Amino acid sequence: MSTSAEQTSNGDLLLEMRGLRIEGQSEGGWQEIVKGVDVTLRRGEVLGLIGESGAGKSTIGIAGMGFARPGCRISGGTIVFDGMDLRAASDEQLRKLRGSRIAYVAQSAAASFNPAHKLIDQYTEAPIQHGIKGRAEAEKDAMDLYRRLRLPDPENIGFRYPHQVSGGQLQRAMTAMAMACRPDLIVFDEPTTALDVTTQIEVLAAIKDVVREFNTAAIYITHDLAVVAQMADRIMVLRYGDLVEEGNARDMLADPQQDYTRQLLSVRSYRKQEAPPDKSEVPLLEVRNVTASYGGTVKVLEDIDLKIGRGRTVAVVGESGSGKSTLARVITGLLPPSEGAVLFDGEELPASYKKRTRNQLRHAQMIYQMPDTALNPRQRISDIIGRPAGFYLGLAGEARETRVRELLEMIELDPDEFIDRFPGELSGGQKQRICIARALAAEPELIICDEVTSALDQLVAEEILKLLQRLQDDLGVTYLFITHDLATVRAISDEVVVMLQGKVVEHGGRQDIFTPPHHQYTDLLLSSVPEMDPDWLDNLLAERAARKARGEAVMESADQ
């Protein structure tokens, strides 16, 4: 915990924040969201800030640039960057600093690039603005950096518009942009959170190299301990705006001092007991030779065959664009397939949900990825959960309220406290629980879970997975689990279906899928999941390079 204090005497100190306090505006006035945190950063050092949402990690990272988001204010402490007091600095001084000596890489590159300008025009803006380089020189420099960040076709990619390159490429282009003025410090705010695992590797490796090469100091903000283990020299674990633990990355991973850190470390270790195989002859759900497309001729799904047995959890895993969500849309009837059929309990379902009977609709319920948009913000919890109970099962008045209370208890929320609330008054995890209760209210046999944990913090996500598992044990529901997160698959599935470009490439029991030999693509997916070992990324890349050198086929991310 005290390593930083000893190192502050070093002459290469770059950023020092002492007793940092930041307040955020809420309905009852100002509330402290960062409660006196000390941060020190030396030149060339990478500091990982880790914590769940609301821990204040982004707020602290941005404060390192002397900035507070609208609705926030820095209320106490000092921020000294390279001998300059940022809190006392004028706007003009800060403007000179930002972009040239301190840069920022945001979570969503797609939202942070201006869609109306070419990448290279946005790259050259900062160097020209700050008078560091001329246009021609800056362009040449851009191509050089694009090459270093391993972007394909570095001479020409800059002349594309943001929508013409993929998400992983865009994130690297944004990193290049941040490097444009060779800043002393870059703040990375969850730069890979929105990317697929296979793409994430490339971006992580590129960032790691380029930061090391230019000896740039970095603050790396993330909620994923395995990712930060690859990137950071030192890690600060934050919770509720307070420091939990700070230390050298390797030491902390090997020997965490605090319970909370230990919890974060063990978060991916949950495993379910395998459900007994379905003994009945007819599977609960059968997808037979389904081919589907959105209007055009490009097939999003091609000849999909799938059987799901009663009481089982089948995980469909794949990257974005693999067609896994489209499969859910076909099963629910939102997208009628061009060929093939969906059978429920041996009986063919009408292709469109509009033609299905109320009972057919009742049996397959859906839980969505974003609990924020899945709940009507203007309805009370009692109505949200009560409606399906009333709609399908005819419950009304007292019976309906009793049922809602029962469901709330099932999802471990206190009925008296929650029944009259609006969704806006709940946390993300609580909202997802309400979504589960709404699905259960219909008393379905099948629940389709579309990335239900990916918008949640890891600890919360694990609670949700455990809850889903308990409900399966109690009620015998069947889950179709759509996800890109292999840790979730490992935790909860009985069977795994691996999808790539609209086709099923592998289907088998969890054990079979996770033990070699795999299909080539499964191998790529599995090996790309970050592990807590700080050397994991380097080893993995070395191994892949070695295999390539030996002339073995190595599958690469489509995003490359």
With vertex at residue 213, the alpha carbon angle to CA 255 and CA 4, rounded to the nearest 5 degrees, is: 35
Residue 266, CA atoms < 13 Å, CB-side half-sphere: 11
Judged by CB under 8 A, how many residues of this single chain contact another protein? 26
Q: Does 232 contact another protein by CB under 8 A?
A: no
Decide if residue 296 touches another protein (CB under 8 A). no
Task: Return the residue of 210, 366, 404, 480 that touches another protein, per CB under 8 A.
Answer: 366
- Binding flag, residue 438, another protein (CB under 8 A): yes
Applying CB under 8 A, the span of 52-60, 125-133, 183-191, 355-363 interacting with another protein comes to 355-363
At closest approach, how far in Å is the CB of 364 from another protein? 8
CB-wise, 276 or 424, nearer to another protein?
A: 424
3-state secondary structure of 46: strand
378: contact with another protein by CB under 8 A: yes
C-alpha span between 198 and 44 (Å, rounded): 27
Environment class of 299 (CB within 10 Å of its CB; exposed 0-12, middle 13-18, buried 19+): middle
Smallest distance, another protein to C-beta of residue 493, A: 24
Minimum gap (Å) between residue 190 Cβ and another protein: 20
Chosen residue from 374, 389, 491, 526 binding another protein by CB under 8 A: 374
Nearer to another protein among residue 394 and residue 551 (C-beta):
394
From 152-160, 297-305, 388-396, 398-406, give the range in contact with another protein by CB under 8 A: 388-396
| Residues sharing a CB contact under 8 Å with residue 176, sequence separation 6 or more, in sequence order | 123, 142, 145, 146, 149, 151
Write each residue from 67 to 106 as x if it is in contact with another protein (CB under 8 A), else as -, in one continuous string.
Answer: ----x-----------------------------------
Give least dist CB 526 to another protein, A. Answer: 30
Indicate the residue among 302 and 372 with the shorter CB distance to another protein: 372
| Residues 150/545, Cβ–Cβ less than 8 Å | no
Piece of 139-147, 231-239, 377-385, 394-402 that binds another protein (CB under 8 A): 377-385
Minimum distance of another protein from residue 98's CB (angstroms): 23
Whether 216 and 231 have beta carbons less than 8 Å apart is answered as no
Contact call for residues 411 and 430 (beta carbons, < 8 A): no
421 binds another protein (CB under 8 A): no
353 sits near another protein (criterion: CB under 8 A): yes
Phi, psi of 468 (to 5 degrees): -60, -40
Strands 347-348 and 339-344: antiparallel
Q: Which residues contact 30 (CB under 8 A, 6 or more apart)?
A: 23, 24, 73, 75
Buried b (16+ CB within 10 A) or exposed e, 405-434: bebbebbebebeebbeeebeebebbbbbbb
Please tell me the distance from the alpha carbon of residue 328 to that of residue 465, in angstroms, as a whole number: 19
Nearest Cα neighbor of 70 from 78, 80, 62 is 62
- Which of 89, 132, 370, 532 is the binder for another protein (CB under 8 A)? 370
Q: Which residues bind another protein (CB under 8 A)?
A: 71, 332-334, 353, 356, 358, 361, 366, 368, 370, 372-379, 387-388, 391-392, 424, 438, 442
